[in-house]
Amino acid sequence: MFGDYQPNRFGPSRSPIICKNGAVATSQPLAAQAGLKILQEGGNAVDSAVATAAVLNVVEPMSTGIGGDAFALVYMQTENKLVGLNASGRSAYAADPELLRHQGLTTIPAYHDLRACNVPGAFDGWTQLIERYGSMSMSEVLQPAIDYAENGFPVSPQIGKSWSKSVRMLSYCENARQTYLINGRSPKIGEVFQIKPLARTLQLLAEGGRRAFYEGEIAQQIVQYSNRNNGWLSMKDFQDHTSEWVEPICTNYGGYQVYELPPNGQGIAALIALNIMRQFEQDQVPFDSPDRFHLMIEAMKLGLVDLHQHVTDPTFSDIPVSQLLSLSYAKEQAKRINMRYSLPSVDLTQLTVGYDTVYLSVVDGNRNVVSFINSLFHQFGSYLVAGNTGILLQNRGAGFSLDCDHVNYLAPHKRTLHTIIPGMMMKDGMPVMPFGVMGGPMQPQGHLQLISNLVDYNMDIQSALDAPRFQVMLDGKIAVEDSFRLEVLKALESKNHQLLLGSDTFFGGGQAILVDPENDTLVAGSDPRRDGCAVGY
């Protein structure tokens, strides 16, 4: 199963981690090690996932945190079923799209504007995970993050580089400047950085749990800050917030069941594209065949168009999920693909872009499995920190549309279309692989390419993550990584694809752990495009 090991197939890389008792894969080594330590101390996969996410909040603060949202797919052996958790926050009850339109705005300002700040859903999600499935207390799983925030952590290379690009934007908010800059500069790579206000907040949550965040001091500070700065958030918004346990959606691909969370997430776009791919005979097609990439690009375009047209908060709109995932629909969509020419350029510009997210996979010794994702949306979210909480507030509300005819139109107490999506592969009712590829609109595209690499070409996990990627951009152009062969690029251009060669486009960061029942082992991989790693024991 996914065992065609060819080390360094796509250039110098690392080998997958093969272990037996537990594995963690994520985008920052200190976080991965913290999650592994929880497993070694007797915690289960859920305990480890929350601990890892909490450490990521500290060591990769531009990408994630308790000021953002989270989603998870969880398989616990005691329940013998896959469940999904939607921990995304809603807009404020006071949200007023007509006010914004009256002010001449066509989009919601993403930065330094509290009207882009939905209620943070992540910590409620962490709490529900621990209460339902955890074997440790919230205090225990938050302790590694508290230690790093209080005593400091060395800034890793890609995180330091990303941080340095945000100095000007962080400087506009006094609380953000004092918390996340050092005398007006970003921390250097390798420099030890402390986030003491965040350490204090995490300690409050360790002691007071959910109530401390949504009913107590933390919510009060955020609401007071919002009131002073023309925001919409109220205490009622926080008190009424709750995460939702949901039934995952899936499709079959190559004998495996690929699961995503249902809307308001964009995972459905990956499943639509996989269904379209199934309609084409791909036996004997080489991995780097121009026809293969052309087919994936076209299938992804169609999936993204459906995403743009249909997906929002399902409590506000009847989303035809069953129809979109039906094989009859896939067959009709497949007829639109011409293998000689690309589809007319698609315009997806109303889909807002935010690439800053963390994804993690965890499997424990009992083969409990967690696929987990947490995000602030854009880098450092809104660039706003409320009071002395140290919490960066997400700007997920910028994802709403101000077009009153659009399905994702802003409304009070509504969840917007969400980019962050955890994935899970299963076979015969058992988990095969938690996986994810963080990176805004790259996420469903990364899921598609990773699954195809594994199922269609039997690649090992690390090679499947290393493989060169494309990305359908929101203007319809196709960004490609430098590692594509020149012959492939020329062939794609001959099919009328507008390519962005050697661009600065971010092609995501993937993590995955294979549960190998034949050898009773775990095989874990981590994307070389990020600072992170897979660890196990």
Tell me: the pLDDT tens digits for 210-252? 999 999 999 999 999 999 999 999 999 999 999 999 999 999 9
Q: What is the pLDDT of residue 10?
A: 87
- CA nearest to 74, candidates 50, 39, 58: 50
Show the tokens assigned to 108: 């919601």
pLDDT in tens, 460-503: 999 999 999 999 998 889 999 999 999 999 999 999 999 998 76
- Between 353-362, 414-423, 436-445, the lowest mean confidence (pLDDT) is in 353-362
Computed over every residue of the chain, the mean pLDDT equals: 96
Alpha carbon distance 164, 425 (integer Å) = 37
Is the pLDDT at 355 greater than 60? The verdict is no
pLDDT in tens, 86-95: 999 999 999 9
Is the pLDDT at 46 greater than 70? The verdict is yes
Confidence grade of residue 459 (pLDDT, cut at 50, 70, 90):
very high
Q: What is the pLDDT of residue 475?
A: 87
Q: Tell me what the mean pLDDT of segment 136-151 comes to.
A: 99
Provide the 3-class DSSP secondary structure of residue 167.
Answer: helix
Domain-wise residue ranges, the chain = 17-245+353-415, 249-350+432-516
Show the tokens assigned to 259: 């699961």
Show the tokens assigned to 525: 């991989």
Q: Tell me what the mean pLDDT of segment 94-104 comes to.
A: 98
Are the C-beta atoms of residues 223 and 271 closer than 8 Å to each other?
no
Percentage of the chain beyond pLDDT 70 is 98
- Between 373-382, 422-431, 438-447, 503-512, the lowest mean confidence (pLDDT) is in 503-512
Are the C-beta atoms of residues 108 and 118 closer than 8 Å to each other?
no
pLDDT in tens, 338-351: 999 998 866 666 55
Confidence grade of residue 285 (pLDDT, cut at 50, 70, 90):
confident
pLDDT in tens, 380-424: 999 999 999 999 999 999 999 999 999 999 999 999 999 999 999
Q: What is the pLDDT of residue 183?
A: 97
Q: What is the pLDDT of residue 284?
A: 76
Q: What is the pLDDT of residue 345?
A: 67
Confidence grade of residue 352 (pLDDT, cut at 50, 70, 90):
low
- CA nearest to 366, candidates 48, 18, 20: 20
Half-sphere exposure of 92 (CA within 13 A, CB side): 20
Q: Give the Cβ contact number of residue 450 at 10 Å.
A: 28
Half-sphere exposure of 280 (CA within 13 A, CB side): 25
- Between 1-5, 173-177, 224-228, 351-355, the lowest mean confidence (pLDDT) is in 351-355
Q: Tell me what the mean pLDDT of segment 169-178 comes to.
A: 98
Q: Tell me what the mean pLDDT of segment 181-196 comes to.
A: 98
Q: What is the pLDDT of residue 4?
A: 83
Alpha carbon distance 396, 367 (integer Å) = 33
Residue whose token pair is 């066509």: 106
Q: What is the pLDDT of residue 302?
A: 97
Topology annotation, domain 249-350+432-516? Serum Albumin; Chain A, Domain 1 (1.10.246)
Is the pLDDT at 506 greater than 90? The verdict is no
Q: What is the pLDDT of residue 354?
A: 56
What's the DSSP call for residue 506? Answer: -
Catalytic residues: 357
